[in-house]
């Protein structure tokens, strides 16, 4: 993790790590989209990120300790995994999504995750973070099996997509 910065203020340090317009979106796509390879992130970006910007953000996120990169060798796809510090952003994503839903124009399809996370509250966030730890950190499965949060979020988005298609 890099230690340079304008000051040691926690808000400043967070803004320096996450404050550009693409970093949170790349993390969002890994957290909620399950996208862990460069091509998946590039081709499935809602906002149409350019390849050079994506490469820069992934490199920066790895350098900052927000992602790890498993490079299996020449000719094979590198896999990006969340670190604990990125997984800990789930409540931040929930708060940002809730704010965006309430104060900005959004589409139902893309706002449904925020709505579910807001309704589910901290208990859902904790379950989701536990799921992410299993997938990205190799943690053991939680002892209380519930319907996976990611599956519920994806199902809700698909239902919203179908309603929008009409």
CATH 1.10.10.10 residue ranges in the chain?
Answer: 10-82
pTM of this structure: 0.85
Residue pLDDT, tens place only, 46-67: 899 999 999 999 999 999 999 9
pLDDT at site 145: 64
Q: What CATH class has 10-82?
A: mainly alpha
Our measurement of the distance from residue 51's CA atom to the centroid of its chain's CA atoms, rounded to an integer in Å, reads 18
Strand partners, 160: none
- Contact in structure between 35 and 29 (CB atoms under 8 Å): yes
Residue 8 pLDDT > 80, yes or no?
A: no
Q: Which long-range contacts (CB under 8 A, 24 or more apart) does 163-166 make?
A: 163/108, 164/107, 164/108, 164/109
The 10s digit of each residue's pLDDT in 106-163 is 888 888 889 999 999 999 999 999 999 999 999 998 777 678 888 888 888 888 888 8
């Amino acid at each position: 993790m890099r230690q340079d910065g304008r000051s040691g203020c926690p808000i400043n340090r967070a803004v320096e790590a996450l404050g550009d317009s693409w970093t949170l979106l790349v993390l969002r796509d890994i957290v909620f989209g399950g996208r862990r390879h460069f091509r998946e992130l590039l081709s499935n970006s809602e906002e149409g990120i350019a390849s050079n910007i994506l490469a820069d953000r992934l490199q920066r996120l790895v350098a900052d300790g927000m992602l790890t990169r498993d490079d299996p060798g020449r000719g094979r796809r590198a896999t990006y995994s969340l670190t604990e510090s990125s997984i800990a952003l789930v409540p931040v994503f929930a708060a940002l999504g809730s704010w965006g839903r309430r104060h900005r124009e959004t589409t139902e399809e893309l706002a449904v995750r925020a709505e579910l996370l807001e309704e589910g509250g901290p208990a859902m966030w904790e379950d989701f973070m536990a799921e992410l730890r299993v997938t990205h950190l190799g943690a053991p499965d939680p002892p209380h099996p519930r319907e996976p949060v990611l599956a519920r979020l994806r199902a809700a988005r698909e239902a919203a997509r179908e309603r929008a298609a009409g």
